[in-house]
Structure 1
Amino acid sequence: MTDSSDFLPHFITEPIYVIAGEEQTPAAVETTTPEVASATAEEDSSPQMVEEPQEAITIKPIPTEGQNLKGCVIFVESSEPILDTASKEFLYKVLSSVKRGENDVLVANIADVEADSIEALLAEQNHKQVLCFGSNKFDKLKGETLYSPKQDGHKTYLSCDSLTAIAQDVERKKALWKALQSIFLG
């Protein structure tokens, strides 16, 4: 039995370029025959455009909790992995008032991430609503009025104070309740 790389130059007659830094297989190193290489050298005497390498964008994973069964993503900022116990209890109590449970939403702690990571998370999540508690990192809600739902197509966005601030202030609780009613109970 012969090596399959012996037949490769007969099937691929165009020049093969190896990009520096990429892993090479023995078959990929020399795939053009000498006749093809000299013919392409004559044809290819025009200057070649070389692109500058672009900076790699690192998307940092965001700590999340929940299964997003009802298409609702909730952004929080916390020093805890997701939320401290009191804030988590308050959040789920508020969500239960609009018929949402722990698995109906996806809670994401965006304290240590950049806007690219937030956009990547939203791109992979099927969501109809985004609630943002105590953060200005989410670009769509920068400069928006707190407790005032924003429609963007079929999606609704809401910016609020932090869960701790809401839990301690009756007026903020009322404002949140009114906003959530308009979003979830229509």
Structure 2
Amino acid sequence: MDPAANLAFFQNLYAGAALYVVAEPAAGPTAPLPAPKPVGPAAAAAPALPPALNPEPTPVPAPTPVVAAPQPPAPAPVQPPVAVAPPVAVAPPAAAAPAPATQPQSSQPQLAQPQLAQPLGTRPLANLPAAAQAPAGRVQPTPTESPVAHIPFSTLGSNPHGLVILVRLPAEQFRKLPRNVFLNNLLKALRLVMEDVVLVNVEHEKYPVALCSLRRELAARQLLAFGKNLLDVAVYTTQPYEPVLLYGDTAFLGAGEIDMLEYDAGRKKQLWQAVQRMFLG
């Protein structure tokens, strides 16, 4: 191939044309550039012309469209935390009592709590029958007047509202009576102690003590007599081991002497059944 033709070909090919053109934004419409001449055997056969005499402008390749990179999705706006007002402590009323502490429940069975002993003077009288009428021809004393009001008696104990126990004993034996085992066991069965009762010793060997005389010093309404002929209003109207009401407000129970009851199981049983009807019924 002719070197002069080759030189003319390459001068014509690269004259006024850039190998790589970066598209830049233009303010107005861009004038079309002349299309390049075909490259190939036909172009080689065409006569070589100087660049100044070439009537056709060199075409500029079309600008490469710039594709914008995909933008990441905008993050969702973060909502500011809602301010929660702190709880307002309300002071309990001054008069309110503190709640009792809750005790843990135990798997063991709960035992029954023993009931507190109630003084006999405050217990309601049992539903007892009224005392019988005195036999005809007998003078029946009253709670305020009695022909035996002068009969003396002595007492042990300082509880004016306690149970009155009537006995007829020698003075020395009467002073030992608070330590009597049988009497203390009987009071224990009634949930009482010796300090809850008043012991009264009738000092006359035959005549009873008057109820009106006892009421001047004692306010008790329960009387338990160990022996015979100890209370004037009960001499003709009561039976041993049968509790009754005297004048509707005084419960009375007569029994045998303490020395005899200590060694007689049958009379002990009678006494206990009568005491239950009088005090625990």
- Measured against the shorter chain, the TM-score band is 0.5 to 0.7
Residue 67 of structure 1 pairs with residue 158 of structure 2:
yes
Distance 2:188 2:196 in 1: 10
Q: TM-score, normalised by structure 2?
A: 0.41
Structure whose CA Rg is larger: 2
Equivalent residue pairs, number: 130
Determine the structure 2 residue equivalent to 1:124: 217
- AA aligned to 1:170 is A
* Residue segments in structure 2 that go unaligned for 5+ positions in a row: 1-147
- AA aligned to 2:223 is V
Distance 1:145 1:135 in 2: 10
Query: 1:90 Cα deviation (Å)?
Result: 1.4
- Tell me the percent identity: 28
Residue 136 of structure 1 pairs with residue 229 of structure 2:
yes
Residue 185 of structure 1 pairs with residue 280 of structure 2:
yes
- AA aligned to 2:277 is S
2:149·2:212 contact (CA, 8 Å) conserved in 1? no
Q: Measured at CA, do residues 128 and 170 of structure 1 come closer, stay the same or move farther in structure 2, by a change above 3 Å?
A: same
Query: Which residue of the other structure, out of 94, 113, 120, is the alignment partner of 2:186?
Result: 94
Determine the structure 1 residue equivalent to 2:200: 108
- AA aligned to 1:100 is L
Query: 1:86 Cα deviation (Å)?
Result: 9.1
Residue 146 of structure 1 pairs with residue 146 of structure 2:
no
Query: 1:139 Cα deviation (Å)?
Result: 1.7
Q: Measured at CA, do residues 83 and 77 of structure 1 come closer, stay the same or move farther in structure 2, by a change above 3 Å?
A: farther
Q: Measured at CA, do residues 69 and 139 of structure 1 come closer, stay the same or move farther in structure 2, by a change above 3 Å?
A: closer
- AA aligned to 2:240 is L
Give secondary structure in 1 for the equivalent of 2:269.
helix
Dislocated runs of 4+, deviation >3 Å: 57-61, 83-87, 113-119
- AA aligned to 1:171 is G
Residue 164 of structure 1 pairs with residue 262 of structure 2:
no
Distance 1:86 1:104 in 2: 11
Distance 1:175 1:87 in 2: 23
Root-mean-square deviation (CA), in Å? 2.6
Question: Deviation string for 1:95-129 (max 9, x for gaps)?
Answer: 11111211111111113275465531233211121
Q: TM-score, normalised by structure 1?
A: 0.60
Query: 1:67 Cα deviation (Å)?
Result: 2.3
